[in-house]
A and B are shown apart, each in its own frame.
Chain A
């Protein structure tokens, strides 16, 4: 029992990180889920939206429930539901089942989050317990897409959900072993509007950074989920550098959050205008986003909860704000970038036509390639096509192959340009959301008369 108690704190922190990582963990797995469950782009997006929507809307009611029940029971029940539904997600054979399982996972996750806050406070005391809960959440949010991409590349999309089960199963007995009492403080304080609003806007902006960037890397620039995961690992690494930077410069909290919002906006503008499709051009903008994330999310969460009682209810508001923000971000950005991807088809096709017409190939080889490309482009309506198949199937003379290979590279470059251009407006909208978050920080408070 003593051993279980010693491991309890870290297990609760891991549980919090797992639940909040689940917000974006499936982003890199969406193309695999789309193929495996034979579904549509619109439906597969709900694997992401459903979890965030249920967690966002369920966080505050769950927190209210947590003030009326024993935290260890709430936590154990939530963690068990989260673990069980994670296993259900892995076993899902259809998109409907997966979305239903994600909804249950989010409900279990909401219970686990508020329960773990109380258990961490019981284990570590008020200050350290809340700080651990907040930090675990930031780490989970930042690491989620990276972890999901690595697991999808190494194993399968189901592995994302399978690996969560043992951690959560271990946390159930740990939760039951902690004798925390329910926080019976009356509802003294109103929710902190400003930090929660800033959190919501920043979460919407961060959705642009994490969700759109992995989509651009995997679908637009055609990198593997593993490469995309490695690339987006810049965000959590840079987020870790935020604390030392803040300790060095010691800004007031509002200034720190404002600078963080500005860094996220700057990073998103950088992602909107890469000079080429080389992965290196995403690193510095991602570092800005990561630094901004590290300076803002934990600080805002702490501000929203600081000296407000009951603590768990205000924690619920922060979870609600963050995940409703993610859903709002997805709701704004998804139609924009899907429409832009559609619009990008015409310039991409014209660029391809131009290069094929002027290619240094024999006329009959140009015609063979053009016909194969036409078939490929019509088969991939609404998605970035894989032109390699067209060149493989085209009947070309061996001596023409080198020129055809050069043409293939030039056409791929045009597709990368078109995809990058198609994501530009969405990244800029994300930057706009981060600037809006900055406005909520810098607008002076009304003086109370």
Chain B
């Protein structure tokens, strides 16, 4: 081996080995092996649910509502979720953003046509509602077309959101029973208010 060859062979071999290893690593995604980046909450997201009926509607409403709230607060939906998961008081901005975000979610689902008709939800709602037994039977006997004509899902949801004390709910998300009671009561009130308004529209004068 000549003097020059002895001088360059080892550095060249080292260069080839390091270049080869790093090249293969980078070509296979080396350097990009990082935790999932949070998605832009302002970009439209397809939200699905494994649940059915009211549970599915609630899940989609909450997921879209958090997206819209996070967009208003200029944070990721994950950061907002983690923050809301911590116990403690909420800021006015958070409560307002969530309120408006939930309303945005209702609007979006209505525009997409993904809100179920009221007749799809009425049986489940009646199971949970604290109504007179005869009244409950009478409502169950109504044809779907009558129910859908009398009750609009988006109207009930908007009334429910306006009625809910979001600050109180957000401050104690761990108490599932209380959360369930509050939402149920708000839905029942919203249904009644929606029906009363509908009757007023139907009765002239």
Contact yes or no, A363 B51, CB < 8 A: yes
Contact yes or no, A266 B25, CB < 8 A: no
A residues near B14, Cβ cutoff 8 Å: 259-260, 262-263, 266
Residue contacts A-B, CB under 8 angstroms, 24 given: A246-B10, A255-B10, A259-B14, A260-B14, A263-B18, A266-B21, A269-B22, A274-B33, A275-B28, A275-B30, A275-B32, A277-B33, A285-B21, A285-B25, A347-B34, A347-B37, A353-B78, A353-B81, A355-B36, A362-B51, A370-B85, A371-B174, A417-B35, A418-B35
Interface string of A143-183 (1 = CB under 8 A from B): 00000000000000000000000000000000000000000
Looking at the assembled complex, report how far the CB atom of B45 sits from the nearest CB atom of chain A, in whole angstroms.
9
The stretch of B55-63, B90-98, B197-205 in contact with A is: B55-63
B176 interface residue (CB < 8 Å to A): yes
The stretch of B1-9, B105-113, B122-130, B137-145 in contact with A is: B1-9
Q: Of the candidates A348, A351, A363, A421, which one forms a contact with B33 in the assembled complex, judged by CB atoms under 8 Å apart?
A: A421
A residues near B81, Cβ cutoff 8 Å: 353, 357
Contact yes or no, B35 A348, CB < 8 A: yes
B binding-site residues for A, Cβ under 8 Å = 1, 6-7, 9-11, 13-15, 17-18, 21-22, 24-26, 28-39, 48-51, 55, 58-59, 63, 66, 76-79, 81-82, 85, 174, 176
Looking at the assembled complex, report how far the CB atom of B30 sits from the nearest CB atom of chain A, in whole angstroms.
4
Looking at the assembled complex, report how far the CB atom of B63 sits from the nearest CB atom of chain A, in whole angstroms.
6
How far is A364 from B50 in the complex, measured between Cα atoms in Å? Answer: 11
A61 interface residue (CB < 8 Å to B): no
How far is A414 from B36 in the complex, measured between Cα atoms in Å? Answer: 7
Measured CB to CB, the nearest residue on chain A to B10 is: A251
How many pairs, one residue from A and one from B, have CB atoms within 8 Å of each other in the complex?
141
Q: Of the candidates B7, B22, B38, which one forms a contact with A354 in the assembled complex, judged by CB atoms under 8 Å apart?
A: B38
B residues near A417, Cβ cutoff 8 Å: 33-36
A91 interface residue (CB < 8 Å to B): no
Contact yes or no, B58 A347, CB < 8 A: no
The verdict on A362 contacting B25 (CB below 8 Å), with A266-B14, A266-B17, A354-B39 known, is no
Contact yes or no, B31 A350, CB < 8 A: no
Q: Of the candidates B6, B11, B25, B85, which one forms a contact with A250 in the assembled complex, judged by CB atoms under 8 Å apart?
A: B6
Looking at the assembled complex, report how far the CB atom of A41 sits from the nearest CB atom of chain B, in whole angstroms.
22
Looking at the assembled complex, report how far the CB atom of A100 sits from the nearest CB atom of chain B, in whole angstroms.
41
A335 interface residue (CB < 8 Å to B): no
Contact yes or no, A357 B6, CB < 8 A: no
Interface of A is mostly: helix
B residues near A353, Cβ cutoff 8 Å: 78, 81-82
Contact yes or no, A249 B17, CB < 8 A: no
A245 interface residue (CB < 8 Å to B): yes
Contact yes or no, B78 A258, CB < 8 A: no
A44 interface residue (CB < 8 Å to B): no
How far is A361 from B10 in the complex, measured between Cα atoms in Å? Answer: 57
A residues near B24, Cβ cutoff 8 Å: 284
How far is A274 from B55 in the complex, measured between Cα atoms in Å? Answer: 42
Q: Of the candidates B25, B32, B55, B176, which one forms a contact with A270 in the assembled complex, judged by CB atoms under 8 Å apart?
A: B25
Contact yes or no, B85 A350, CB < 8 A: no
How far is A288 from B17 in the complex, measured between Cα atoms in Å? Answer: 8
List A residues 249-299 near B (Cβ within 8 Å).
Answer: 249-252, 255-256, 258-260, 262-263, 265-267, 269-270, 273-277, 281, 284-285, 288, 291
Among B11, B14, B58: residue with most chain A CB under 10 A: B14
A262-B15, A270-B25, A360-B50 known; 4 other A-B pairs, CB under 8 Å? A249-B1, A251-B11, A285-B25, A357-B66
